[in-house]
Structure 1
Amino acid sequence: MTKLIVQIPCFNEAEDLPETLARIPRRIDGIDTVEILVIDDGSSDGTADVARLWGVHHIVRHRRNRGLAHAFRSGVKAALAQDADIIVNTDADGQYEGADIARLVAPIVAGEADIVIGDRGVADNAHFGPVKRKLQRLGSHVVRRLSRTDITDAVSGFRAMTRSAAQQINITTDFSYTTDMLIQAGRKRLAIASVPVRTNRTLRPSRLFTSIPRFIVNTGITIARAYTTHNPMRVFVGGGMVLALLGALPILRFLAYWAAGDGDGHVQSLVIGGALLVLGTLVAILGVLADLVAANRRLIEAALSELRELNDIVAAQERDQPRDERAEARRRRA
């Protein structure tokens, strides 16, 4: 039995949610069960009530708005707890065509991918303005290089993942999960695919960011943080070498003047160069320490993944036990 759970992060989406729910297919080839999970991220317009009215299978509610990344994490956690084999994330505003969920999960069902990203065709998408097209293409290019993946629409929120991939991804950002997730998946060598999907025009402004400059800054910080987390040696040692090379230039300048017998008036070059050399060495040493921290992170993530697999085994065994035996097993663990 293959269970697919479609998770929908929502923040004040009571008006648009019904149409989004209506477009989600209930039957997909290769999938035995399709369920819907709504994450109500502190809505004040009755989003959760609308979800119940439309027969949503699972609802997660946040008492206050925590942001898209936290809503995504809550959704994945709840989907895993409900024994989802495949998790699809989509937006509540109807930007993505629900019928394309079948196209999105096809590579996973065929065993060809761990994660599939819906490619909106940003370069030719009539629903995007020229500025947004250029920014999306630039951002996707940067993420593609840093994650070593061949994904053309890195910030697309329309994506599917296997249970195993979801257990290995640990979102750490508070802004948006899209780039963080891709960089992690690429560095963990998960099989990532991209399929073209259709989009619909959305009239309301984005609730993720209030302005394009703010979006650029927050996305840039997220990308830099994710890349540094998984590649500390390259970032810090590389930065230290750059500082050291910059420090060598004024030192060479001083030596040239000194060899010509005019070194007394250029001691400041020696001081500046020495300071940059020391700073570069310290930054490189920080890279070694950061790499040790990253190694510990990998060990912790491996332990978490094994713990989640163990929980799956225990849950499967409990489902096969009679009710009295399950109660007794829980009592013993307590």
Structure 2
Amino acid sequence: MKLIVQIPALNEEETLAEAIAAIPRSIPGVNSIEVLVIDDGSTDRTVDVAWDAKADHVLEMSSHVGLARAFSAGIEYALSLGADVIVNTDADNQYCADDIPALIDPILKRQAQIVVGARPIAEIESFSLLKKVLQRLGSWVVRVASKSKIPDAPSGFRAYSRDAAARLCVVNTYTYTLETIIQAGRKHIPMTSVPVRVNKVTRPSRLFRGIPEYVARSARTILRVFVIYAPLRFFLTLSAIFALPGLIGVGRFLYYYATDGGAGHVQSLVLSGVLLAMATILFAVGILADLISANRSLLEDIRARELLRAPRKPTEVIPLDPARALENG
């Protein structure tokens, strides 16, 4: 059983070494534990710090691609290294690495394929009351969209089995946390959650500049994923919203036509015709989107089988310092 702990990092030279040092190197039931750092185009000494802190692998992105794409690149690379279980954690050492054994336990016991670490939101002093409320609200929305019971959807401290990791395909570039849960729920990948601890906050989040931006981006992510994975339901709902007032308007016109000849009510008939036409178009778009979604599912299945059978191994970045290269193998 091989465990790879991946750490996406962007300009984390101050906290990365501490995060790597905290990762346990021995866990019952795990034969090998390796640390993979994904450098998302850092402009500081993040890469050097990773090697100095004894990271086993460092994958450098050619430029800053965003957390979601760095996460996806790390997943593919970890699979190419033969990982049986992949744990994702933050480079700012936000999560308590001592909880990694508890995080992977349901996977080792074959009780789940994805495990999300649930933070004690109510006890985190650095979270304002508004942020705590929004965290709970966002997690509730994700639970509804994914039909899961994950209490802390935005948590980035999570574990994936090899099969689950290969089946996930992140679309947006903002964050992977919400999308992967909704996607896993739609694909019926078994998920669970375990309580985890957090360390003292060392810096504010870099993913968003404030609560309004966080809400807006999260809402767009949830809506986009829902359109991708449940397009027929989405467009049929929109179609019904337009069709209902259109049918009411037609019924109203027919009523007046039967009682007084319909004089003066032609405008409502025209408006109803426009609404029904829009409903028909949305219905047709929903059918096409559903067919595209089915094709996407097939492509994702093919991609998953390729990753598991013949994974594409990215080129690992080797440090220019020969002494460090020899030291890290």
Q: Structure 1 segments of 4 or more deviating over 6 A?
A: none
| AA of the residue aligned to 1:306 | R
Q: Which residue does 2:118 correspond to in 1?
A: 119
Alignment deviations for residues 301-327 of structure 1 (CA, whole Å, 9 cap, x no partner): 122222223316x99xxxxxxxxxxxx
Structure 2 CA distance for aligned equivalents of residues 302 and 12 of structure 1: 35
| Pairwise CA distance, 1:215 | 1.4
Structure 1 CA distance for aligned equivalents of residues 297 and 289 of structure 2: 12
| AA of the residue aligned to 2:194 | V
Structure 2 CA distance for aligned equivalents of residues 30 and 210 of structure 1: 41
Alignment deviations for residues 28-74 of structure 1 (CA, whole Å, 9 cap, x no partner): 11111110000111111110000011110000112321110011011
Q: Which residue does 1:327 correspond to in 2?
A: none
Moved more, 255-264 or 161-170: 255-264
Structure 2 CA distance for aligned equivalents of residues 288 and 196 of structure 1: 41
TM-score when normalising by structure 1: 0.91
Alignment of 1:1-334 (within 5 A): 2-261=1-260, 263-311=262-310
Q: Which residue does 2:317 correspond to in 1?
A: none
State the secondary structure of the residue aligned to 1:263. coil
Higher relative contact order by CA 8 Å / sep ≥ 6: 1 or 2?
2
List runs of 5+ in structure 1 lacking aligned partners.
Answer: 316-334
State the secondary structure of the residue aligned to 1:264. coil
Structure 1 CA distance for aligned equivalents of residues 72 and 245 of structure 2: 43
| AA of the residue aligned to 1:107 | P
Aligned 8 A contact 2:94 2:201 in 1:
yes
Indicate the structure with greater helix content: 1
RMSD across aligned positions (CA)? 1.5
Structure 2 CA distance for aligned equivalents of residues 130 and 203 of structure 1: 19
Aligned 8 A contact 1:237 1:285 in 2:
no
Structure 2 CA distance for aligned equivalents of residues 13 and 39 of structure 1: 11
TM-score when normalising by structure 2: 0.92
State the secondary structure of the residue aligned to 1:39. strand
| Number of aligned residue pairs | 313
List runs of 5+ in structure 2 lacking aligned partners.
Answer: 314-329
| Pairwise CA distance, 1:176 | 0.6
Structure 2 CA distance for aligned equivalents of residues 43 and 161 of structure 1: 26
Structure 2 CA distance for aligned equivalents of residues 230 and 58 of structure 1: 34
Aligned 8 A contact 1:258 1:264 in 2:
yes
| Pairwise CA distance, 1:262 | 5.9
| AA of the residue aligned to 2:197 | R
